[in-house]
Homo-oligomer: A and B are copies of this chain.
C-alpha cells in the first residue's frame, strides 16, 4: 500500500521551501508578481497539512500585526488558484497547496474527516475515467472537482 501522507520524520520545512521555489519559478514564467502578501498566504497554506480557510488565513495574518481585511486574502487566494499554485477544496470552503503547479493535471483530494489532513493525488485511472465519461456524453471539461472524504489509513487503524 502506498502512503497517502508523508512519512513521519519527513522535513516539512524543506517541502515548504521547495514549494516556494516552485511558486517563484511559476510566477516568473507567467510574468506574475509573487508579492509579499501572496507569499505569506502561500506559505501559510503550505505550512498546514490541512486545508485552510480564508478566515483562518485572515486571523493568522492579522495576529502578525495590523488588521488584514477579507478582500486582501481573497485576492491572494484568487491569484494563487488561478496560477494553479493552490487548490480550493469545494466541500470545505478551504484551500490547499498544490504539489505539481508546473504541470496541468486533474487533481483528486483525499480528506480525512478524523484528523483533517488532506492529500492530493494525481491518479491516471481517475483522471482518465473522468475524461472518458465526459467524452461519452460530449461534454467539454473546464474544471473538475474530485474530493473523497473518509478515514485515512492511520485514523482507520488506530
Q: Which A residues form the contact surface with B (CB < 8 A)?
A: 1-4, 90-91, 108, 110, 112-113, 119, 121, 123, 125-126, 128-130, 132-134, 136-153, 156-157
Contact = CB atoms under 8 A, between A and B. Distances in A.
Residue in A4, A113, A148, A150 whose Cβ sees the most chain B Cβ within 10 Å:
A148
Copies in the assembly, this chain: 2
Contacts of A152: 137-139
Determine chain A's interface SS by DSSP, over half rule. Answer: mixed
A151 B109 CA distance: 23
Contact of A91 (B110, B126, B138, B145): B145
Given A90-B147, A112-B139, A121-B133, 11 more contacts: A90-B90, A110-B134, A110-B137, A123-B129, A130-B148, A133-B148, A139-B148, A141-B148, A142-B150, A143-B150, A144-B147
25 contacts: A1-B137, A1-B138, A4-B138, A4-B139, A90-B90, A91-B145, A110-B134, A110-B137, A121-B133, A121-B137, A123-B129, A126-B129, A128-B129, A134-B150, A138-B153, A138-B157, A139-B150, A139-B151, A139-B153, A142-B150, A142-B151, A143-B150, A144-B148, A144-B149, A145-B146
Contacts of A149: 141-145
B123 A133 contact: yes
Contacts of A125: 129, 132-133
